[in-house]
């Protein structure tokens, strides 16, 4: 059984727990950096990236999270979590974990489209996945090592770089666990 943690500082934590349990993983809500040591993979949930970053600093998570990444362990960032993984954020001088070679823009779909659903084709996952977007970012640009897994209206909304998986939408807010299962498979393969 793979052990997956969900960073539990803020955001859509419980929904991820439910989704990954449904995929047969043993799931832990991570509130202290020491908990990372026992895990095979980690999910950075959606929420508010600036708030999450504040809590990451407050609870001294930044270095332990970067260590986790440098051990080659899989990480999955959804929405705000995608922003945490990115190397560059449009309009900001500093990124957060800065482990995934991509530039992201926050709240990038504009006011009228604060939240919406869209049917997505996701390479290796599904041809008809309903993406729930909530004040979502999108990926403006990716480096050579990054595979684009999905686009919506020409904008990149899911990507993978080896051990890192990221999406701009909230897969945990539907009962379709195929994207969660894709990450579980990544974790199994990395073990």
Q: How far is the CB of 107 from ligand GLN (least distance, A)?
A: 5
Tell me whether residue 111 is annotated as binding.
Answer: no
135 annotated as belonging to a binding site for a ligand: yes
Nearer to ligand GLN, 3 or 135 (CB): 135
Residue of 15, 79, 105, 167 marked catalytic: 79
Annotated ligand binding at 134? The verdict is yes
- 101-120: b (≥16 Cβ within 10 Å) or e: bbebbbebbeeeeeeeebeb
108 is a site residue for ligand GLN (CB under 6 A): no
Task: Give the number of other CB atoms < 10 A from CB of residue 54.
Answer: 13
Under a CB-based contact definition with an 8 Å cutoff, are residues 107 and 137 in contact? yes
Kindly state the number of chain residues that form the binding site for ligand GLN, as judged by CB under 6 A.
12
User: Which region, judged by CB under 6 A, interacts with ligand GLN, from 19-27, 46-54, 91-99, 151-159?
Assistant: 46-54
Using CB under 6 A as the binding rule, whether residue 166 contacts ligand GLN is answered as no
Q: What are the residues facing 5 on neighbouring strands?
A: 28, 42
Applying CB under 6 A, which of residues 9, 13, 39, 49 lies at the interface with ligand GLN? 49
Cβ 20 to ligand GLN, closest distance in Å? 18
What does DSSP say about strands 75-78 and 41-44: parallel, antiparallel, or unpaired? parallel
172 is catalytic: yes
In whole angstroms, give the CA distance from residue 104 to residue 96: 12
- With tokens 């390479």, the residue in question is 123
Is 26 in the active site?
no
23 included as an active-site residue = no
Q: How far apart (Å, rounded) are the C-alpha atoms in residues 44 and 160?
A: 14
Cβ pair 159, 1 in contact under 8 A:
no
Residues 120-139 that bind ligand GLN (CB under 6 A): 134-135, 137
Tell me the C-alpha distance between 167 and 111, whole Å: 20
* Interface residues toward ligand GLN, by CB under 6 A: 46-49, 79-80, 83, 106-107, 134-135, 137
Catalytic residues: 79, 170, 172
**Binding-site positions for L-glutamine:** 47-49, 106, 134-135
């Amino acid at each position: 059984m793979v052990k997956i943690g969900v960073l539990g500082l803020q955001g859509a934590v419980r929904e991820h727990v439910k989704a990954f349990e449904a995929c047969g993983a043993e799931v832990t809500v991570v509130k202290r950096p020491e908990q990372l040591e026992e895990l095979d993979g980690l999910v950075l949930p959606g929420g508010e990236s600036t708030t999450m970053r504040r809590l990451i600093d407050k609870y001294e998570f930044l270095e332990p999270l970067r260590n986790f990444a440098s051990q080659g362990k899989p990480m999955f960032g959804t929405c705000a979590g995608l922003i945490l993984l990115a190397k560059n954020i449009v309009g900001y001088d500093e990124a957060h974990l800065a482990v995934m070679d991509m530039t992201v823009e926050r709240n990038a779909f504009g006011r009228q489209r604060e939240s919406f659903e869209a049917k997505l084709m996701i390479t290796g996952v599904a041809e008809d996945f309903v993406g729930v977007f909530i004040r979502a970012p999108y990926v403006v640009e990716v480096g050579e090592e990054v595979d684009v897994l999905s686009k919506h209206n020409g904008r990149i909304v899911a990507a993978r770089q080896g051990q890192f998986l990221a999406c701009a939408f909230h897969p945990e807010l539907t009962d379709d666990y195929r994207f969660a299962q894709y990450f579980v498979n990544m974790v199994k393969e990395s073990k």
